Amino acid sequence: MTTVFMFPGQGSQSIGMMSDLLAQSELAVKTFTEASEAIGEDLQDIALNGPEDKINQTEITQPIVLTASVAMWRTWIENSDIRPDYVCGHSLGEYTALIASGVLDFEETVKLVNLRGKLMQGAVPLGEGGMVALLGLDDDKAKEACKEAAQGQVVAPANFNSPGQIVISGATDALDRAMAIAKEKGARRTAKLPVSVPCH
């Protein structure tokens, strides 16, 4: 049997994340301490207590998600004999996969994704852009919804995650219009993603 570990990307963060593991694993706490010292932010406190606007700032979200994933990876390695045949990641999760593979150094990668988040955030003023998941809509209808919603602003498909799951990104007002149009076109659900900037 082939075993694959896949690490998550930005958008999987929430206040209180990692609380169980951090209460049980000194290694997880140590991992968060390493990351916090590397970038000068108390990532463990933000992960456990927020506030929401801070945990969703991409320059914080990216190091937190990376650190949480590495903490889980390290804890797994310490407590299990099972090793994956392959590792991979979704978007930001690719960095964790590279750490797990021994290609990248954890501390340097935390600094890198923190800088990456700052640069991404700097490209779009806070509050002026975002991302939305469209569920149950085909690719062509998603494109049509974006085109109709644009009205002089930018909104477009960003990720075709799977058939019937498309993420769009763009200006906040255009995203709101696209959500309404997508529902009219038959989307089962639309959901704003907890990100502070439209990025991938």
Please state, in angstroms and rounded to a whole number, the distance separating the CA atoms of residues 137 and 189: 9
Residue 15: half-sphere exposure toward Cβ, Cα within 13 Å: 10
Please state, in angstroms and rounded to a whole number, the distance separating the CA atoms of residues 146 and 139: 11
Q: Please tell me which residue in 12, 14, 19, 91 is annotated as part of the active site.
A: 91
Cβ atoms 69, 13 nearer than 8 A = no
**Catalytic: 200?**
yes
| Residues facing 120 on adjacent strands | none
| Residues facing 5 on adjacent strands | 87
For 45, list phi and psi in degrees, rounded to 5: -65, -40
**Catalytic: 162?**
no
Q: Please tell me which residue in 12, 14, 196, 200 is annotated as part of the active site.
A: 200
Q: Which residue's structure tokens are 């994956």?
A: 84
Active site residues: 91, 200
